[in-house]
A and B are shown apart, each in its own frame.
Chain A
Amino acid sequence: MNSRFWMAAASYFVLTFVMAAGWHLALFKDVYARLGAFTRPRPIIPLGILSMVLQAVVVAYLYPLFSRGGHPLTQGATFGLLLGIFMGSNAVLAEAGKNDVGSLPTWIALEGVYYLLQFTLVGLVIGLIYGVLP
């Protein structure tokens, strides 16, 4: 575990926290409220944070295994996009298939775009950290 690993994990956590909170609790708060998808009256924030911390460690561990030495931005964005599709398939599609999430097209569009954006951005930053930092 070198300094790049910890920087990648920390970046993942900070970016994901800011984006998740900004998207769900500020930018599109009213849309999610109208959907009525998140049925817990108050989300359990510490569990969300715990999940982000663990994901940060796993993703920072996985990136160097899958990076194939191209341009850091391209490598990072590709890795992030793949992860976004991977995680989003569960959190967007399977969730909608199982649970009542209100309007299906709105849920899929809103959560789908969120996952793709968030993971691509995180991938870009992790790519830069592993590809540019000494």
Chain B
Amino acid sequence: MRFFVAATVAVFLATFNLGYVFHELVMGAWFQEQEHLIAREKFIIPAIALAFLVYSAILAHLFPIYRRHFGRRSTIPLALQFGLLMGVLFDALQGGLIEYATFRMPFQAFLVDSAYHVLVEGTVAGLVLAVVYQRVVERRPAAVRRAS
């Protein structure tokens, strides 16, 4: 439970804030120009935040199961692999390809957005999961880990 809460909060804070920096501060003007046919004038931030919270909570729930499946392998590469895989599922395929296929979204906007969500967000989420897992789970004595 400690890992789940800590990882949910940490992944949410990292990915949501990084998303704001990328989509608003760095690429905001470009996205506005590309997506003016479909985008709202003002985003509904609570809906987007809730989506990120769900994303973070499900990654935090599934990662320990994924981690245990691979036994003695190192946590960081596994977490990166997990972050990228879930990023592909979450954004490149569902939020990316399907969105491009149904909304009037320019192809380059789909590519940049999906590349960000998979490569940057997936990597960051994986790294955060790995760090929290190492600090909360792997540092505990084996007997305590087995008991929980």
Q: A residues near B, CB below 8 A?
A: 38-40, 43-45, 47-48, 50-51, 54-55, 58-59, 62, 65-66, 68, 82-83, 85-87, 89-91, 93-100, 104
A-B residue pair count with CB separations less than 8 angstroms: 115
Main secondary structure of the interface of A (DSSP, over half): helix
Per-residue CB contact flags for chain B residues 53-79 toward chain A (1 = under 8 Å, else 0) read 011001001100110010000000000
Contacts A58-B89, A65-B66, A93-B47; A48 near B98 (Cβ below 8 A): yes
Q: How far is the CB of A52 from chain B (nearest CB, A)?
A: 8
Contacts A48-B101, A91-B95; A65 near B65 (Cβ below 8 A): yes
Across the interface, A66 reaches (CB within 8 A) one of B45, B46, B62, B88, namely B62
B interface bracket (residues with beta carbon within 8 Å of A): 35 or more
Q: How far is the CB of A59 from chain B (nearest CB, A)?
A: 8
Q: How far is the CB of B125 from chain A (nearest CB, A)?
A: 13
Q: How far is the CB of B65 from chain A (nearest CB, A)?
A: 5
Q: B residues near A, CB below 8 A?
A: 35, 37-40, 43-48, 50-52, 54-55, 58, 61-62, 65-66, 69, 85-86, 88-91, 93-95, 97-104
Whether the Cβ atoms of B103 and A38 lie closer than 8 Å is: yes
